[in-house]
Amino acid sequence: MTTPTPIEARLAALEQNLRAISAELTALRAEVGGASTSVHDDAQASASNASTAADATPPRVRRGPDRRAGNRTHDLESVLGRYGMLAIAVLAAVAAVGTFLSWAVTRGLFTLSPAVRVLAGLAFAGAIAVWGVRLRRTERSFGSSILGLSLAIEQVCAYAASSAFHLVPAWVAFVGAAVASWALAVFAHGEGDEPLWCVGFGGAALAPFVTSDGRGSVYVLALYAAVVMLPACFAISHRDWPVGWRVFYLVAALFVGGVAELANTGGTLAFAVALALPFVIAGAGIMPFAPATRKRGALRWLTLLAIAALLIAHSSHDVAWIVASLTGAALVAWLVLLDHSANVPTSSVLASARSRADLLDWVDAAFMPLMFSAYLLRVLELGVGTVHAAVPGFALAIVIGAFAWRRSVGALRDAAAFASVLLAIGATFALPLEQPTGRIALFAALGIAVLNLHRARPSRAWLGMGAGCLALAALGSLGALLGRVSYQFTPFATEPVGTAIIVTIALAIVTRFWPTLRVATRVSLGERQEWTYAAQLRRIIRVAVLAPWVWTFVWVLVELSMSYSPSTSTLLMVIYFAGTGVACVAAGRMRRSASLRQTGLGLAVIAAVTAFYGATTYFDFIARIEAYLVTSAFLLGIAYWYRRAGSDERLSGQELKS
């Protein structure tokens, strides 16, 4: 190897320097904030190394410190400083005013007339408002927060003057609160000012709680909540404010929880008010004013609060049928809201759940309707008895099923269909039907009806729940067949046989109309490519076609296994296995089905094993001869088919054609 000339060595060093600089620039772009001094040192080191050897390895670029942890700390610091401190300050200021008013009035320190007391509080709020307006000229965001604080203090004064201390009539205080709320709403709406909205709305929400003496009125608090929250919804009008919506969720929970707690001892009317409050806010505030990206999440949150209000506000002294009726009305209200917002994007209070649209649809259309329904049925069960809860259960199933009918193919329809059929199944168990025939017949009819709904409005839930109803009917019939005393009845002449016939007819109907059910099943899978579900669909078709045959085989087998005596039943099973095996082999040859032929061979082997078992356990001399002869005759027939000239070639040709 020749020694490179000085010019060549310098060129090589220059090339390595360029490569090092390129690597450094790439690192700097990927991670902003790299140390420039270290890059410079590396470039000089690489140049000196390259001057001694042209083939030296490229220099290793040192990266600057990882700034991501620092950025996260800075973000947390910024959020805490900008919003956390402001929220705590507003809470402390409102609490101070409310506590002072409560303390002063209860100790008689105010000797002024009620009007003067209210005017003093309003004057203090006005002074803060003037300060906020002046601050807005230079510090718009902070000035807006101070202005919102003044309006919140005005709400505290209004609420304390009426509800807590009865200094002025309630209508005067609520007119003042409404005027302040709408003034704040119009101003925040026009300015598009999130801090103003958060401080004013959040502070106003605290007024009833910081001035409360523990003897609040559920009706006054509910009216105040509506007066505050409806203007707040108008002010936020179609804006996706992240902090603002968090404040809204917290305030909604605060108001609904407070009203529900007071309603627990207030009677049935108070229970109705607590249950209605979330739906009033949802219908009059969220539906017209919330942005599409927040609407479904806000409606879901308010409905979850309504479910919580059910649990908190209901007491044992409430009239059961009225509570059940109100709960049913709440369920209908939720379905109406969901129906009108079904086409907007799925959203959630939790950011981590917003990408799981199908799960949220199942929460909306299955979980929450089932929660309302379960509570309604439980109230009726405790109040008027389980039997009287069956008819409302079917009514709820019809209402939720109507919602599923209106929806297009997708998760909402599947979820509502699932909830509907589940309620119908529960109502069927609650009905005092004749056992076992009545209940099994109703399950079979329900399964056929649900599968018919699947034909008309395809849904995977209709399909699965319809099959589940038929499975419940079959299991009930099988239990009735096995529940008889062995060898103490005439075969095929008992009531459980009637249930088996009902199940057989139901399965035969499903098989008869399976081609249309198959088309509906393909439609229910929506936009999925056919190759992704072809194998699963073939298995479903196979089960549907074979179900009546398999059920009939099991039914007859159970019937024969319990007939007359152990010896006679065993002989009958030998004949049954052998005859069914021959029939399966014959059908397999005719239909060119290898699986049928193999099933027939398996049954023939079982017949032989059963014959030998019976011969050594139950049979007398004559029965033993009969069992052997029957088994031999049937097996010889099968062997003859397989040993005929050209049988192997014909079977191979059938398999190739099939």
451-459: average pLDDT: 92
The token duo for 221 is: 């608090």
pLDDT tens digits along 176-215: 767 777 777 777 777 777 777 777 777 677 767 765 656 6
289-305: average pLDDT: 92
- Give the pLDDT band (50/70/90) at residue 29: low
* CA 600 vs CA 437, 559, 569, 576, 630: distances in Å: 33, 21, 21, 12, 16
Alpha helices in 53-113 (DSSP H): 68-79, 85-106
Q: In this predicted structure, what is the pLDDT of residue 10?
A: 59
Taking alpha carbons only, the member of 362, 338, 359 closest to residue 418 is 362
What CATH number has the domain bearing residue 569? 1.20.58
- Give the pLDDT band (50/70/90) at residue 77: low
Q: Answer whether residue 213 is part of any domain.
A: no
* Full DSSP string of 251-277: HHHHHHHHHHHHHTTT-HHHHHHHHHH
Residue with tokens 């199942």: 362
Q: Output the average pLDDT for the chain.
A: 78
Q: Answer whether residue 636 is part of any domain.
A: yes
Taking alpha carbons only, the member of 503, 548, 539 closest to residue 521 is 539
For the chain, how are helix, strand and coil distributed in percent, rounded to 5?
Answer: 80, 0, 20
- Give the pLDDT band (50/70/90) at residue 41: very low
333-353: average pLDDT: 86
Q: What letter represents residue 146's amino acid?
A: I
Measured between alpha carbons, how far is 251 from 230 in angstroms, rounded to an integer? 12
Residue 51 has pLDDT above 50, yes or no: no
> Which is more confident, 592 or 550?
550
Q: In this predicted structure, what is the pLDDT of residue 516?
A: 85
Question: Quick one: which H or E segment has residue 435?
Answer: none
Q: Answer whether residue 576 is part of any domain.
A: yes
Measured between alpha carbons, how far is 258 from 620 in angstroms, rounded to an integer? 82
**Secondary structure (3-state) at 113:** coil
Among 40, 64, 88, identify where a domain stops. Answer: 64
Q: Answer whether residue 41 is part of any domain.
A: yes
Q: Answer whether residue 209 is part of any domain.
A: no
Number of structural domains the chain divides into: 2
* Phi, psi dihedrals of residue 62, rounded to the nearest 5°: -85, 135
> Which is more confident, 401 or 570?
401
Taking alpha carbons only, the member of 277, 229, 271, 282 closest to residue 256 is 277
- CB-neighbour burial class of residue 546 (10 A; exposed 0-12, middle 13-18, buried 19+): middle
Q: In this predicted structure, what is the pLDDT of residue 243?
A: 83
CA 520, 526, 530, 536: dihedral to nearest 10 degrees?
Answer: -60
pLDDT tens digits along 530-545: 777 778 878 888 888 8
- Give the pLDDT band (50/70/90) at residue 645: very low
Residue 365 has pLDDT above 50, yes or no: yes
- Please count the other Cβ atoms lying within 10 Å of the Cβ belonging to residue 186: 13
Q: Answer whether residue 654 is part of any domain.
A: yes
11-24: average pLDDT: 68
Minimum mean pLDDT among 3-7, 354-358, 602-606, 638-642: which range? 3-7
Measured between alpha carbons, how far is 523 from 536 in angstroms, rounded to an integer? 14
Residue 529 has pLDDT above 80, yes or no: no
Minimum mean pLDDT among 142-146, 296-300, 394-398, 452-456: which range? 142-146
CA-based R_g, the chain, Å = 39
Computed from CA positions of residues 600, 601, 607, 610, in that sequence, does the dihedral angle turn out positive or negative? negative
Q: Answer whether residue 16 is part of any domain.
A: yes
Among 64, 85, 114, identify where a domain stops. Answer: 64
- Give the pLDDT band (50/70/90) at residue 619: low
Among 25, 45, 64, identify where a domain stops. Answer: 64
pLDDT tens digits along 205-243: 776 776 565 667 888 889 888 888 888 888 888 888 888
Taking alpha carbons only, the member of 583, 576, 585 closest to residue 614 is 576
Cβ pair 628, 611 in contact under 8 A: yes
Q: Which long-range contacts (CB under 8 A, 24 or more apart) does 21-25 make?
A: 23/58, 23/61, 24/61
Structural domain boundaries enclosing 48:
6-64
Q: Answer whether residue 95 is part of any domain.
A: no
Computed from CA positions of residues 470, 476, 479, 484, in that sequence, does the dihedral angle turn out positive or negative? negative
C-alpha of 501 from chain center: 39
